[in-house]
Amino acid sequence: MKFQKYISEFENYLISNNSSKATIKSYTRTITQLLKFLNKYPTDIVEKDIEKFKLYAIQIKKYDNNTLVPKYCAINAFMQFLKKPIKLKPPKKRVKNKIPLTVDEIKQLFQASEDDFRDNAILKVLYYSQIRRSELSNLNVEDIDFERQKIRINKGKGNQYDEINIHPDALRAIANYLKVRELPQTEHKNALFLSIERKRIGRTDISTTIKKYAYKAGITKRVYPHLFRISSITHMAEKGLNLEEIRMQSRHKKYDTLQSYVQMSNKHIKNAYMKSMDLYNDSKKHKTEAEPRITSNNPSDIKIQLANKLARGEITPEMYLQVISSLKDSFETEGVYSYQ
């Protein structure tokens, strides 16, 4: 391609400005499209040429505002790289559906994908870790720390990483997938999730996978990768985590951005209101019915019962640890431990 020299130099310019891998890929793709359309050397581009490309993008390609915004930003960056006084004003983005998936819908997606270990692991990692689609694609096998229950996220800016918590349910799904994971192509040997061609999974494959199971689960709302992040953050807020706890896990830099993710349902708000306004609330009457009942006079018997329930998947590791830690106090105060 006769414009490759300019594309390569622009790519180096973006790298020097600490742009992410995703941004570099998106911007260079747009500039390649621009130069092919104009068929002019970048040094000869004038403002009228950019206006022609705008009409082409809107009238011929029929790009919506959400697609145009990153393209305009790419052109602005390229003009800045060329030191040309041309700047486009990006259109306003159309606000997409941010109605989170309910907990039941998340469970339905997990159930619908349980026969495919790779897809089940993809859905669970997206939900439990709140990572973005590009971050999921970039995951390597060595980024998963099963012992510490941590996952390492490449920020897409060189060797910069974040480390966050990952739920045991997601770790189990990853472990099941790794047992059947095909031998990857040599250049993709470290990739955690592989495509059917045994290459690192791409963005389109991730989106297609999600849509497939949304349809299979009978979910009619629009389901897309970032909705898992929105849903998980909302569910953490509904469970009572404060903004700082959620921010640390979701890796948001600003609170105002984080708050836009929290989309609590009217049902949750009503239940929270009723509970907070109940002046005669007796906490003993409101214990979670879903938790297992264990009654015994022997601490050793209780521990054995709990361990068996944990092994069978009837209780979570968190519930097991919570009961064990409170076991001593319960016997000291009541003489008998009753957990229900």
pLDDT values of the chain reduced to their tens digit, one per residue, 340 residues? 578 888 999 999 999 988 888 889 899 999 999 999 999 989 999 999 999 999 999 999 998 888 899 999 999 999 999 999 999 988 887 656 678 899 999 999 999 999 999 999 999 999 999 898 989 999 999 999 998 899 998 766 556 788 888 999 999 999 999 999 999 999 999 999 999 999 999 989 999 999 999 999 999 988 999 999 999 988 888 888 887 888 888 887 776 666 667 776 677 777 766 776 666 655 544 444 444 555 555 666 776 776 677 666 677 766 766 766 665 455 544 444 444 3
Residue 65 · residue 94 · CB < 8 Å: yes
Tell me the domains of the chain and their CATH numbers.
4-82 (1.10.150.130), 103-266 (1.10.443.10), 285-339 (no CATH)
Q: Is the pTM of this model over 0.75?
A: no
List of E strands, 155-300: 161-165, 294-296
- Which residues make beta-bridge pairs with 161? 154
Helix (H) or strand (E) holding 205: helix 203-216
